[in-house]
């Protein structure tokens, strides 16, 4: 399979995630957009690892680190969203500065 297909899919995922981060007002949807962008990076890392076929599989190892980072990020992000909801009664990111 050519390298172009996963790169195009990854670019589309990253673009959708970026739109979700920039255009959404709901904090949970912003976190989903960040997760989409991290998954796009994971797809590129694995695609380049498969394309270069190196023996150390550094793309796959870096993907595992990104997955661990994403798990920590979503846990911390949801805790912040819950604290914001308790303080303001809303999860709207525009109201976050009013708390």
The answer, yes or no, to whether residue 99 has pLDDT greater than 80, is no
* Structural domain includes residue 79: yes
Reported as a pLDDT band with limits 50, 70 and 90, residue 1 is: confident
* pTM for this entry: 0.90
Distance between CA atoms of residues 63 and 85, nearest Å: 32
Q: Is residue 77 part of a domain?
A: yes
5-12: average pLDDT: 98
pLDDT tens per residue across span 22-52: 999 999 999 999 999 999 999 999 999 999 9
Query: Residue 97: what pLDDT?
Result: 77
- Domain span holding position 54: 26-90
Beta-carbon neighbour count of residue 13 at 10 Å?
19
CA distance 48 to 45: 5
40 lies in some domain? yes
Q: Residue 84 domain-assigned?
A: yes
pLDDT score for 54: 81
Residue 90, CA atoms < 13 Å, CB-side half-sphere: 10
Q: How many domains does the chain have?
A: 1
16 assigned to some structural domain: no
pLDDT level of residue 94 (50, 70, 90 thresholds): confident
Whether 53 is in a domain gets the answer yes
Distance CA 98, CA 93 (A): 10
Choose among 35, 31, 40: nearest CA to 9. Answer: 40
Task: Confirm whether 46 is domain-assigned.
Answer: yes
Asked if residue 12 is part of any domain, the answer here is no
């Amino acid at each position: 399979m050519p390298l172009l297909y996963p790169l195009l899919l990854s670019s589309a995922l990253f673009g959708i995630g970026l739109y979700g981060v920039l255009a959404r007002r709901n904090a949970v949807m912003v976190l989903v957009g960040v997760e989409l962008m991290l998954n796009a990076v994971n797809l590129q890392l694995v695609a380049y690892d498969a394309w270069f076929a190196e023996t150390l599989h550094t793309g796959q190892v870096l993907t595992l680190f990104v997955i661990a980072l994403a798990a920590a990020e979503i846990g911390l992000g949801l805790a912040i969203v819950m604290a914001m909801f308790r303080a303001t009664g809303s999860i709207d990111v525009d109201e976050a500065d009013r708390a």
